[in-house]
Structure formats: C-alpha cells, structure tokens
Amino acid sequence: MPYIPEERRTQPPITAGDLCYHITRLCQEHLMRGGESFTTFGEIRNALASAWEVHFLPQLQDYEDRKRIENGNVEFQYEHTH
C-alpha cells in the first residue's frame, strides 16, 4: 500500500509500502508527462510487467530451484473422476 508517512517519502524504500509508494509515484509522473491515453497506460503497464519479467522472475526462479533441491519437489497425485 503506497500510503506512507511524509518523512519516508524522500528516503530510499525499506518496506514493501515504501517501494509501492515510489513505484506509484513513477507511474504517476509518467502519466502526467504522457497524459491520459491508452498508449500511456499501456506504457506503464508494459514497464511494470517488464520489470517483473526481467528482474524479479529470474531471481524468483533461482530461489525456487534452490528450495526444490533443498527440500524436494512437490508430489502431485491426481484423481480422475471420469
């Protein structure tokens, strides 16, 4: 949630709320520069999706791979009721 105290808004993000605030501000600034349009909203959406795909997703996959090796894979048992 981006609703953080004033004194934390000019500091580097520490909490998830801080990070959400800074990301929200960047999106708002881009929207103000580009104006409300399908293109501008799409640019913001694409930038957020790209940040997820390029930065976070590979790190998450590495973490999950390490945990799978450490703790074993999930065993799935499917029951077909046809």
Q: What is the pLDDT of residue 6?
A: 94
Residue 65 covered by a domain:
yes
| Residue 1 counted as domain residue | no
Cα(62)–Cα(76) distance, rounded to whole angstroms? 22
Q: Is 51 a domain residue?
A: yes
pLDDT of residue 36: 97
pLDDT score of 75: 84
The pLDDT value recorded for residue 82 is 66
Chain centroid, CA 47 distance in Å: 11
How far apart are the C-alpha atoms of 47 and 80, rounded to whole Å? 41
Structural domain contains residue 75: no
Considering the domain boundaries, does residue 10 fall inside one?
yes
Query: Who's near 79: CB < 8 A, 6+ residues apart?
Result: none
Domain residue limits at 60: 6-70
Q: In terms of pTM, does the model score above 0.85?
A: no
Is residue 52 domain-resident? yes
Number of domains in the chain: 1
Domain assignment present for 34: yes
pLDDT along the chain (82 residues), means of 10: 90 94 96 98 97 89 93 82 69
Separation of alpha carbons 36 and 32, rounded Å: 8
Query: How many CB atoms are closer than 10 A to CB 48?
Result: 13
Q: What is the pLDDT of residue 65?
A: 94
